[in-house]
């Protein structure tokens, strides 16, 4: 893409606003702004209008509010992150199950794992329902709250179960004990990572839904 300074002021302001709304994920914001900037640059290059500033303002109006656009991209990003978290949680649950079966751990945290399975199923079910219904806009933002909360619960229950097992259970395998420590850190880190970003995203969706 051409340098930002090569674009009209209206476009630069638009991209700055979009980048600010996507501040919860800087790398993602840079990629999105770069892609949108390319669209602007190509459209302006193909335009035969003598006044590029007026053309730029018209193009920004056609793209819509940066807030609305950012909200849509945030929903796409959160859906992707929730799916990734589900696969991580599922892998850890399978590892716990195999460890218990093979007597690598005498874990009694079945209730916590059960709750994690239930909340994980809620997350997956909600994401599948959203995909089947093809939700978008304010309806999508509203329904994403359910899998987000369920995903937080899944990670939290699994992390607590692993932490308790790691601290209060005698293990027959140093490998499994190391896995528990690593998995606890992964789950806790993932929980904090998703929680922090989902808070900003929810604020964005709330603003968009109010102005919709």
Could you tell me what percentage of the chain is helix, strand and coil, using 3-state DSSP and rounding each to the nearest 5? 85, 0, 15
Neighbour-count burial of 41, counting CB atoms closer than 10 A to its CB (0-12 exposed, 13-18 middle, 19+ buried)? middle
Distance CA 52, CA 55 (A): 5
Give the pLDDT confidence of 15-31 residue by residue, as tens digits.
999 999 888 888 888 88
The CA–CA distances, whole Å, from 109 to 89, 90, 97 equal 15, 16, 11
- The mean of the pLDDT values for the chain is 77
Cβ distance 47 to 54 under 8 Å?
no
Phi, psi of 154 (to 5 degrees): -60, -50
Phi, psi of 184 (to 5 degrees): -60, -45
What's the pLDDT score for residue 115? 67
Distance CA 130, CA 127 (A): 5
Give the pLDDT confidence of 106-140 residue by residue, as tens digits.
555 555 666 677 777 777 777 777 777 776 666 67
| For residue 104, pLDDT beyond 60 | no
């Amino acid at each position: 893409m051409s340098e930002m300074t090569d674009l009209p002021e209206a476009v630069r302001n638009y991209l700055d606003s979009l980048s600010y709304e996507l501040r919860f994920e800087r790398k993602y914001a840079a990629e999105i702004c770069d892609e949108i900037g390319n669209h602007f640059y190509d459209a302006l290059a193909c335009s035969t209008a003598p006044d590029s500033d007026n053309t730029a303002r018209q193009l920004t109006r056609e793209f819509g509010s940066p807030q609305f656009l950012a909200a849509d991209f945030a929903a796409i990003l959160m859906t992707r992150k929730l799916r990734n978290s589900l696969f991580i949680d599922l892998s850890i649950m399978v590892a716990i199950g195999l460890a218990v079966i093979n007597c690598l751990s005498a874990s009694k945290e079945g209730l916590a794992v059960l709750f994690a399975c239930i909340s994980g199923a809620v997350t997956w079910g909600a994401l599948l329902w959203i995909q089947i219904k093809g939700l978008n806009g304010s309806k999508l933002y509203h329904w994403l709250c359910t899998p987000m909360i369920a995903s937080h619960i899944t990670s939290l229950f699994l992390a607590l179960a692993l932490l308790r097992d790691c601290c209060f259970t005698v293990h027959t395998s140093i490998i499994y004990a190391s896995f528990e420590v690593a998995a606890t850190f992964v789950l806790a880190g993932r929980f904090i990572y998703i929680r922090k970003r989902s808070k900003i995203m929810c604020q964005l969706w709330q603003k968009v839904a109010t102005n919709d």
